Structure 1
Amino acid sequence: MLEEILARFREDVVTVYEPVKKELEITRYLLKYKTRPVLFEDVEGWRVAGNIWSTRERIARFLGVSKEELLHFIAGAMENPRPFKEVDKAPFMRNSTKDFSLKELPVPKYYPGDRGQYFTSAMVIARDEDGFVNTSFHRIMVRDEKTASIRLVPRHLYSMWKEKAEKGEELDVRIIVGNPIHLLLAGAVSTAYGISELEIASAMSERAFGKPLEIVKVGGIPVPVESEFVFEAKITPELVDEGPFVDITGTYDIVRKQPLVVFERMYHVDEPIFHALLPGSYEHYMLMGLPKEPQIYASVKRVVPKVHGVRLTEGGAMWLHAVVSITKQHDGDGKNAIIAAFAGHPSLKRVIVVDEDINIYDDRDVEWAMATRFQPDKDLVIVTNARGSSLDPSAQDGLTAKWGIDATKLLKRKEEFERAKV
Structure 2
Amino acid sequence: MLREILQIFKELIVIKEPVKKELELTKYLLKYRDRPVLFENVDGWKVAGNIWSTRDRIARFLNTDRVKLLHLIAEAMEDPSPYKTVESASFMENSTRDFSLLELPVPKYYPKDGGPYFTSAMVIAKDENGFVNMSFHRMMVRDDKTAAIRLVPRHLYAMWKEKADKGEELDVRIVVGNPIHLLLAGATSTAYGVSELEIASKLSELSFGKPLEVLELNGIPVPVESEFVFEAKITPELVEEGPFVDITGTYDRVRKQPLVVFERLYHVDEPVFHALLPGGYEHFMLMGLPKEPQIYASVKRVVPKVHGVRLTEGGAMWLHAVVSITKQHEGDGKNAILAAFAGHPSLKHVVVVDEDINIYDDREIEWAIATRFQADRDLVIVPNARGSSLDPSAQKSLTAKWGIDATKPLDRKEEFERAKL
* TM-score exceeds 0.5: yes
The residue identity in structure 2 corresponding to 1:60 is A
1:330 aligned partner: 329
| 1:43 counterpart = 2:3 | no
SS of 1:270's partner is coil
SS at 1:39's partner residue?
strand
Partner amino acid for 1:179? Answer: N
Q: Gaps spanning 5+ residues in structure 1: where?
A: none
C-alpha offsets along residues 234-278 of structure 1, whole Å, 9 cap, x if unaligned? 011111101000010000000011111000000000000000000
**2:391 is equivalent to residue 399 of structure 1:** no
Aligned: 1:85 with 2:96: no
User: In percent, how many aligned pairs have the same letter?
Assistant: 81
* Structure 1 residue 381 displacement after superposition: 0.6
- Which secondary structure does the structure 2 equivalent of 1:353 belong to? strand
Q: Which amino acid aligns with 1:149?
A: A
Query: What aligned pairs does 1:316-355 form with structure 2 within 5 A after superposition?
Result: 316-355=315-354
Tell me the equivalent position of 1:295: 294
Note the alpha carbon deviations across 1:30-65, whole angstroms, 9 max, x for none.
001111111000001100000000101110110000
Structure 1 partner of 2:378: 379
Aligned to 1:417: 416
Q: 1:375 offset after TM fit, Å?
A: 0.6
Per-residue CA deviations over 1:311-356 (Å, capped at 9, x if unaligned) read 0000000000000000111111111110110011111000000000
1:108 positional shift: 0.1
**Residues 1:248 and 2:235 are matched in the alignment:** no
What residue in structure 1 maps to residue 188 of structure 2? 189
Q: What does the per-residue CA deviation read over 1:96-146, in whole Å, with 9 as the maximum and x for residues that have no partner?
A: 000000011000000001010000000000000000000000100000100
1:54 counterpart residue number: 53
**Normalising by the residue count of structure 2, what TM-score does the alignment of the two structures yield?**
0.99
Q: Which residue in 2 is equivalent to 1:142?
A: 141
The amino acid across from 1:243 in the alignment is G
2:22 alignment partner in structure 1: 23
Q: Which residue of 1 aligns with 2:366?
A: 367
| Partner AA of 2:94 in structure 1 | N
Residue 103 of structure 1 aligns with an amino acid whose one-letter code is L
Aligned to 1:223: 222
* SS state at 1:57 partner: helix
CA distance in 2, matches of 1:219, 1:383: 50
Return structure 1 stretches of 4+ with deviation > 3 angstroms.
none
SS in 2 for 1:323: strand
Secondary structure, aligned partner of 1:47: strand
Which residue number corresponds to residue 12 of structure 1? 11
Report the Cα offset of residue 398 of structure 1: 1.3
Superposed counterparts of 1:55-134, under 5 Å: 55-134=54-133
1:354 is paired with a residue whose SS is strand
The answer to whether residue 272 in structure 2 is matched with residue 273 in structure 1 is yes
2-structure distance, mates of 1:381, 1:180: 40
The separation in 2 between residues aligned to 1:264 and 1:321, in whole angstroms, is 41
Distance in 2 between residues matched to 1:119 and 1:340, nearest whole Å: 35
Equivalent-residue separation in structure 1 for 2:299 and 2:209 (angstroms): 31
How far did residue 288 of structure 1 move? 0.8
CA distance in 1, matches of 2:125, 2:400: 36
Secondary structure in structure 2 of the residue aligned to 1:297: helix
Any idea what SS the aligned residue of 1:231 has?
Answer: strand
Structure 2: gaps of 5 or more residues: none
Deviation at 1:231, TM superposition (A): 0.3
Take 1:338 and 1:25, find their aligned partners in 2: how far apart are those partners? 42
Matched to 2:100, the amino acid is S
SS in 2 for 1:200: helix
Task: Give 1:205's aligned amino acid.
Answer: S
Which amino acid in the other structure matches residue 44 of structure 2? G
Deviation at 1:390, TM superposition (A): 0.7
| AA at the equivalent of 1:2 | L
Q: Distance in 2 between matches of 1:78 and 1:33?
A: 32
Distance 1:319 1:251 in 2: 14
Query: Who is 1:2 aligned against?
Result: 2
Residue 226 of structure 1 deviates from its aligned partner by: 0.1
Letter matched to residue 80 of structure 2: P
Distance 2:234 2:374 in 1: 52
Aligned-partner Cα distance in 1 for 2:241–2:52: 27
Q: CA RMSD in A?
A: 0.5
1:397, CA displacement in angstroms?
Answer: 1.1
- State the AA in 2 paired with 1:332: G
d(CA) in 2 for partners of 1:228, 1:381: 47
1:185-241 deviations in whole A, cap 9, x for unaligned? Answer: 000011111000000000010111111000000110000000000000001111110
- Structure 1-normalised TM-score? 0.99
The SS at the match of 1:298 is helix
Partner of 2:175: 176
- C-alpha separation in 2, matches of 1:378 and 1:219: 61
Structure 1 position 420, deviation (Å): 1.2
For the residue of structure 2 that corresponds to 1:292, the secondary structure is: helix
CA distance in 2, matches of 1:386, 1:147: 38
How far did residue 372 of structure 1 move? 0.7
- Opposite residue 16 of structure 1, the aligned amino acid is I
Q: Secondary structure at the match of 2:82?
A: coil
Hey, what's the Cα distance between the residues in 1 that align with 2:380 and 2:138? 35
Distance 2:388 2:144 in 1: 33
3-state DSSP of counterpart to 2:336: helix
